[in-house]
Copies of this chain bind each other. A is one copy, B any other.
């Protein structure tokens, strides 16, 4: 199954870059819309060794339907919400050092504006670097129903957003396909590292 192969390859690649350390993060993609079937990385596995045949099939109620061992992540609710509310075909969630740091640094303003970078054009539908992308930040929570609700509300207020950060936790982004969602991860991780290192050089009061 091509979707499973590309999800597993993305997981191994992100792990190599240090964005999915210690079994963190999760990845999903829509295999079928009606009824909904989602290929989803199982909880607690080393993403550096993820194989396509380890992926779970999840229905719209987050139940495993392909009888494989392993349980879906608690964050499956967030994936299902993004698939439904945003029409996402793939949802990717990474824990990188830079997304963790900046999710905390800009938490006080509820998000961060990313402006003026050519790389913004890698976000679907952004035609020019003269663009201001708002990356919302939500507080972390272990109550997944509450967190999914907060995310839904936040994204409802920022309909143009291509992703969001969970404070001291990580980045979520999505796309129509696995390839597009993977591109969005790379774009955000690049921009966050760029902004983080700029803060190093210019100091924390300089803005970006």
Chain A residues within 8 Å of B, Cβ to Cβ: 13, 17-18, 21-24, 46, 48, 95, 97-98, 100-101, 104-105, 116-119, 122, 127-130, 140, 142, 166, 168-170, 179, 182-184, 186-187, 189-190, 193-194, 196-204
Contact = CB atoms under 8 A, between A and B. Distances in A.
B184 A22 contact: yes
Nearest to A187: B22
A59 to B, nearest CB: 26
A170 B95 contact: no
Nearest to A17: B18
> How many protomers of this protein does the assembly include?
4
Given A118-B166, A196-B197, 7 more contacts: A21-B119, A21-B187, A22-B119, A22-B186, A100-B119, A101-B201, A199-B201
A178 B170 CA distance: 26
A165 to B, nearest CB: 11
Interface of A is mostly: helix
Contacts of A116: 168
Given A22-B186, A128-B142, A118 B101 contact: no
A152 to B, nearest CB: 20
A13 B105 contact: no
B194 A201 contact: no
B200 A100 contact: no
A128 B74 CA distance: 12
